[in-house]
Structure 1
Amino acid sequence: MAINKTAIPTLEMSRYEWLKERAKGIGGSDAGIVLGLNKYRTAFELWLEKTGQVDPVEIDNEAIYWGNEMENVVAKEFEKRTGKKVRRSNFMYSHPDHPYIKANVDRLVVGESAVLECKTASAYLAKDWEGDNVPSTYLVQLQHYLGVTGRDKGYLAVLIGGNRFEWKEIERDDELIKMIFDAEINFWEYHVQQGHAPELDGSSAAEKYLKEKYDRAEKDKEIVLSASSKDMLTQYESIKADEKLIKAAKTEIENKIKFELKDAESGLTDSFLVTWKNQSRTSVDSKALREKFPDIYREVLKESNFRKFTVKEFEN
């Protein structure tokens, strides 16, 4: 497999410059989001970021910060466990035909046509790494890197819970790489470059986007909704009914556990810790303030404007 030589040096780049360059395309950590495999971010959120409507999430993300700090530790441990040697690439690679498809690999493996990705994971995610398991979003990220760099093999090394080390060897999969690149090309050229928002989802980012874009309703304006809206609204009412049942079932369990706890602050099973602790908070009694100090109450009143969403089903 030919090695991709399309790259720009990153060694002298500031963090700001690196982030700015990275924002010009789709990186390996974006691949899982584009394919809908990431549990924490959606394609809509990524679209907002890539179109400059929100700041990159990574800037203030503690998990990503510490992941970057531990990268060298994981890389050195990989060398100890495998006897292989790795080195930093200090380049941002680009796909030769689609320069917006980019790759920032953690390490290159000396003497092999291979890359190394270094990860850290919570102990709660240990099962995701058992046996031959690899989290799908990391598998896609690694294949993305192999596709961009032209290398034949990848290694994933992970420190789990701060005290367990695992490493995996993954061969290049050209069929999967094609699927990844097809999705990324569509995402970038249709959604980012042409400005078409991906399908709206249930993320807080989508909610915020709609709230800001359509912050005021035109009084007395009414439209006929699309035919597909009827099916969605029927589903919406069904979900609302299920929510009530789920809430009642959840509350029932809570009440039974609370009754068992009685005046104990916490309780244990072999796999759960339950707490029912005393808490207090201070708040303004608005009713008392209005009655005792009506002038002050009027002075501190603040009007907020928002649009309330309601659904009412017509009776047949």
Structure 2
Amino acid sequence: MNLSQIKKHAIAHKLTDSHDEWLRQRNKGLGGSDAGAVLGLNPYKSAYTLWAEKTGLIDSHIPDNEAMRVGRDLEQYVAERFTEATGLKVQKSGYSFQSKEHPWMLGNVDRLIVGENAGLECKTANALTHTDYEGGDIPPSYYAQCYHYMAVTGADAWYIAILVMGKGFHWFRIERDEDEIQALVEAEKEFWSKVQTKEAPDPDGSDSTSETLAKLYPESFDEEVELDYMEDTLQEREALEAKIKDLTAQKKELDAQLKEEMKTAQKGVCGLYSISWKTQKRTSFDKESYRADHPDEYTDYLTTTTTRPFVVRKRKGARA
């Protein structure tokens, strides 16, 4: 794949050495790594969190960590392993790409395939990954990223190479699928319009969204809002709580039956299942006794944290 092929579909921007500048450019649109979050396929970042980042409501910068460092440092190694495994030569482009048809679609690709209208995405994965790469599985967010790059560059296919640390190396070829690409483009278009209008997408129940809401609204003020229009939501929540309570009681009953059968045994086995009921001892600090014995010193070690407990209950005497 060469630049002349890509330039039929995208504008090429020379890559900068400044990480801060790269981050600023990245927030001007949606990159390949954003595609999974837009579709709700990224287990670490929700569409709501991505929206808050792109609108500047929260900082999108992630402090560098060891996993990120390893991924960057091993990118060249993964590319070399790919060439070794496939015989296909790869090269860096030196550019980031911006779709001409959809200017908010950006692409900073890892490698281009020499002599083929295709590119390569390089990945590293933890040895404890649950993805069955040997069985041909690829995380859905990786698929979305590759289709995003095909949409931006006009590529016929995209390869992905994954190094599972200390365990194995795998590579796959993803063919261009116009229906998949069009669906992704429409989803990203709708999402980007929400970024421009600052209209938040519907929040989901992920940890990512919960953490983002805590960042956006860390403190409460002495005011009250009317939420009459959300009565259906509250009734649905109440029904779910009742189901959870009932299911929890059923689970506890089954646990009790198993414990009765195990008695003093610390391990139980049954076909596909193993059960552990092992005696454990834990040493904890008796802070109440310490406070009673050392009242002056105790206050020197107190710290204050800010939280916002979320509690829903029925009001006494309230009428529907």
Return the TM-score normalized by structure 2: 0.79
Counterpart in the other structure of 1:93: 97
Following the alignment from structure 1 to structure 2, what is the Cα–Cα distance between the partners of residues 72 and 272? Answer: 43
> Is 1:7 the counterpart of 2:12 in the alignment?
yes
User: In terms of mean alpha carbon deviation, does 248-257 or 157-166 score higher?
Assistant: 248-257
1:26 aligned residue (19, 22, 30): 30
Deviation for aligned residue 1:85: 0.7
> Is 1:223 the counterpart of 2:226 in the alignment?
yes
User: In terms of mean alpha carbon deviation, does 273-282 or 74-83 score higher?
Assistant: 273-282
Counterpart in the other structure of 2:152: 148
Deviation string for 1:205-225 (max 9, x for gaps)? 433444452722436x46343
Counterpart in the other structure of 2:162: 158
Deviation string for 1:245-292 (max 9, x for gaps)? 487379767998895448xxxx9x999897979776664x44224433
Counterpart in the other structure of 2:293: 292
Counterpart in the other structure of 2:53: 49
Deviation string for 1:145-174 (max 9, x for gaps)? 011011111111112243312211221111
SS at 1:232 equivalent: helix
Counterpart in the other structure of 1:68: 72
1:129 aligned residue (104, 128, 133): 133
Following the alignment from structure 1 to structure 2, what is the Cα–Cα distance between the partners of residues 96 and 19? Answer: 21
Following the alignment from structure 1 to structure 2, what is the Cα–Cα distance between the partners of residues 110 and 258? Answer: 66
1:16 aligned residue (16, 20, 36): 20
Following the alignment from structure 1 to structure 2, what is the Cα–Cα distance between the partners of residues 41 and 209? Answer: 10
Following the alignment from structure 2 to structure 1, what is the Cα–Cα distance between the partners of residues 47 and 298? Answer: 45
Whether the aligned pair in 2 keeps the contact of 1:34 and 1:43 (CA below 8 Å) is yes
Give 5+ residue unaligned stretches, structure 2: none
> Is 1:199 the counterpart of 2:205 in the alignment?
no
C-alpha distance 175-198 of structure 1, shift in aligned 2 (>3 A)? same
> Is 1:179 the counterpart of 2:159 in the alignment?
no
**Structural RMSD (CA):** 3.6
User: In terms of mean alpha carbon deviation, does 104-113 or 204-213 score higher?
Assistant: 204-213
Following the alignment from structure 2 to structure 1, what is the Cα–Cα distance between the partners of residues 200 and 164? Answer: 36
Matched residue pairs, number? 307
Following the alignment from structure 1 to structure 2, what is the Cα–Cα distance between the partners of residues 145 and 83? Answer: 22
Deviation string for 1:40-74 (max 9, x for gaps)? 22111212222223333644343333222211111
Deviation string for 1:279-311 (max 9, x for gaps)? 76664x442244334455566666666544333
C-alpha distance 230-35 of structure 1, shift in aligned 2 (>3 A)? same
User: In terms of mean alpha carbon deviation, does 165-174 or 273-282 score higher?
Assistant: 273-282
Give 5+ residue unaligned stretches, structure 1: none
Following the alignment from structure 1 to structure 2, what is the Cα–Cα distance between the partners of residues 92 and 255? Answer: 63
Whether the aligned pair in 1 keeps the contact of 2:266 and 2:279 (CA below 8 Å) is no
Amino acid at match of 1:197: A
Structure 1 stretches (4+) deviating beyond 6 angstroms? Answer: 253-258, 269-279
> Is 1:118 the counterpart of 2:122 in the alignment?
yes
Whether the aligned pair in 2 keeps the contact of 1:44 and 1:199 (CA below 8 Å) is yes
SS at 2:123 equivalent: strand
C-alpha distance 224-79 of structure 1, shift in aligned 2 (>3 A)? closer
SS at 1:6 equivalent: strand
Identical residues among aligned pairs (%): 36
Whether the aligned pair in 2 keeps the contact of 1:126 and 1:160 (CA below 8 Å) is no
Counterpart in the other structure of 2:111: 107
C-alpha distance 276-7 of structure 1, shift in aligned 2 (>3 A)? farther
Deviation for aligned residue 1:131: 4.2
Deviation for aligned residue 1:108: 0.3
Deviation for aligned residue 1:143: 0.9
Following the alignment from structure 1 to structure 2, what is the Cα–Cα distance between the partners of residues 164 and 197? Answer: 41
Amino acid at match of 2:77: V
